[in-house]
Amino acid sequence: MPAGIAEIARAVNGGELSAVEVVADYLARAEATQPAINAFTHIDYEHASRAAAEVDARVARGGGGGRLAGVPIAVKDLIDHAGRPNTAGTSLPPPIPQESATVITRLEGAGAVIIGRTGLHEYAFGFSSENHWFGAVRNPWDTSLSPGGSSGGSAAAVAAGAAVAALGTDTGGSVRVPAAICGIVGLKVTHGRVPLTGVFPLAPSLDTVGPLTRTVEDAASVYLIIAGHDPADPWSAPQPVVTPQGSASLRQLTLGIPHPWVDLPQTGDVADGFASIRKALTDRGAKLIDLDLPDLVPASTLEDSVYPEVAAVHNDRWQHHPESYGPDVAQRMAEAFDTDPIRYVRAQEWRARIRHVAQAALESCDALMTPTVAANRKPIGDELIDVAGKMVSFRPQLSRFTALVNHTGMPALALPLQRAGKPPPSVQLIGRRWEEHRLLEIGLALEDAGLSRCNAPHGSQD
């Protein structure tokens, strides 16, 4: 079976493989991995098989199956798919939407087949994907570990070989954190780049939808389908979508290393991995510059900036069904409703300041580079993890390098490093607004140089 999106679509469009065969294979993989990984809330056998047959029928008629013909894709279970329950990972009876989210319509229009809905942290409000109602999603590298969150099921499905690609959402790192912890690629897009129509919100001024894949090429293939203006989404911006033009030249690349952000506490393997990628890039001719950016660090105002939006989204549910929230999400929801409006205003001032700082920093380099997470092993059930010899709450460690990026509105790419580790360390590249193509070009260069690679921990795509 072909491994990547381009190979699958080429084989299906060329008649070498049928979409029905491809989808049946991945449905079997999803079913086989589900008992151990719990990546899916629903495996869509009937609808996926029917959709695959429709792709084959289009190919047989000579019209072509599309740029994603027959490619099996999983979607986070808070994205509307017509006729399927949208649980958002909660205990309330799920609505069954009559229309699909714009991103789903675009994927299916390109010939992709949605094979199932993936588990998540309840309401996407957390980083572990240990769901009180659906059970914990487990990491394919080690099933005693969390896959990260909130898009943990999407990352786990891809890492386990149960889907070629998956969609997640990212409000504070919910694509990049699980990508890092599951050893795969995750793209957080510029806010406003990919439509949010039909996606259950967490904090709309920060929410984004993005792909999780095994390769940068596959991430680019999905991104180019789902990106673009949607007048139905008030956050969507009419900006042109630029196609990546192959690998960047490492010798012509300048990357900024933001201090003291990158110096914050992290585990030894994360620090070693970041040091190794810095050296490897320098050895290959890239220019790395150290930037003194004291304002560009996580702050306590970060949550003050987010929580009022969360409270607004959940106001009716929280007032009428407080018992429907799992314990950890209920605690955070209470904090959200307790946010002082004065702190919120100050937090918006902080957000504006770091946007300006990040934008100015990127005038001197192609991208900023940080680790993706400060720790990449979080045991399921544990609230505290060991970072630099101290037992600390896991949540700030997982979001230390990701959450701030959402407040800048900028795109970011999480890449697994070609290093030992289960999972290996991950590096984050942060780019200018609307320049996802440049991040993808840099990511392709790291893959071509053998510095980034996804090694499937469970299952195979061979």
Per-residue pLDDT for 312 more than 50?
yes
Q: How far apart are CA 53 and CA 59, in angstroms?
A: 10
Rg of the chain over Cα atoms, rounded to whole angstroms, equals 20
Distance CA 206, CA 406 (A): 6
Instruction: Give 456's pLDDT tier (boundaries 50, 70, 90).
Output: low
Quote the mean pLDDT of the chain. Answer: 96
Q: Decide if pLDDT at 459 tops 60.
A: no
Residues 81, 97: contact at Cβ < 8 Å?
yes
Paired residues of 427 in beta bridges: 371, 415
Burial class (CB in 10 A: 0-12, 13-18, 19+), 146: buried
3-state class (DSSP) for residue 204:
coil
**8 vs 461, residue with greater confidence:** 8
Closest CA to 187 of 204, 205, 167, 207: 167
On the question of pLDDT at 462 being above 90, the answer is: no
- Give yes or no for residue 248 having a pLDDT over 70: yes
Q: Count Cα atoms within 13 angstroms, Cβ side, for 326.
A: 21
What pLDDT does 458 receive?
54
- Torsion 132-176-225-53 (CA) sign: negative
Could you tell me what percentage of the chain is helix, strand and coil, using 3-state DSSP and rounding each to the nearest 5?
A: 40, 15, 45
Count of CB atoms situated within 10 Å of the CB of 239: 14
Residue type, 352: A
Three-point CA angle 9, 208, 329, nearest 5°: 120
pLDDT exceeds 90 at position 299: no
Start-to-end CA distance of the chain, whole Å, equals: 6
The domain ranges of the chain are 1-294+366-462
> CA–CA separation, 258 vs 291, rounded Å?
5
Average pLDDT over residues 173-182: 98
How far is the C-alpha of 269 from the C-alpha of 89, rounded, in Å?
32
Query: What's the whole-number mean pLDDT along residues 288-306?
Result: 93
Three-class HEC string of 398-418: HHCCCHHHHHHCCCEEEEEEC
User: Which residues are part of the catalytic machinery?
Assistant: 76, 150, 174
Kind of pairing, strands 367-371 and 254-259?
A: parallel
pLDDT for 3 equals 79
Q: Which two tokens stand for residue 161?
A: 């070989």
**How far is it, in rounded angstroms, from Cα 326 to Cα 310?**
16
pLDDT tens sequence across 76-127: 999 999 999 999 999 999 999 999 999 999 999 999 999 999 999 999 999 9
329-359: per-residue pLDDT in tens? Answer: 999 999 999 989 999 999 999 999 999 999 9
Distant-in-sequence, close-in-space partners of 419: CB < 8 Å, separation ≥ 6:
272, 273, 276, 425
DSSP for residue 189: P
pLDDT band at 258 (very low <50, low <70, confident <90, very high): very high
Cα separation, 327 vs 304, in Å, equals 21
Q: What is the mean pLDDT of residues 14-31?
A: 97
Instruction: Give the right CATH number for 1-294+366-462 from 3.90.1300.10, 3.40.50.2000, 3.40.50.2300, 3.40.50.300.
Output: 3.90.1300.10
Q: What is the mean pLDDT of residues 22-41?
A: 98
DSSP letter string over 269-293? HHHHHHHHHHHHHHHTT-EEEEEE-
370-395, pLDDT tens digit by residue? 999 999 999 999 999 999 899 999 99
Across-strand partners of 405? none
> Pairing mode, if any, of strands 113-118 and 40-43?
antiparallel
Instruction: Report the distance separating Cα 198 and Cα 3, nearest Å.
Output: 30
- Interacting residues of 44 by C-beta distance below 8 A, sequence separation 6+: 84, 114, 115, 116, 117
Listed residue (347, 86, 67) closest to 200, CA to CA: 86
Q: Is the pLDDT of residue 460 over 50?
A: no
Give yes or no for residue 26 having a pLDDT over 70: yes
Section 274-299 average pLDDT: 97
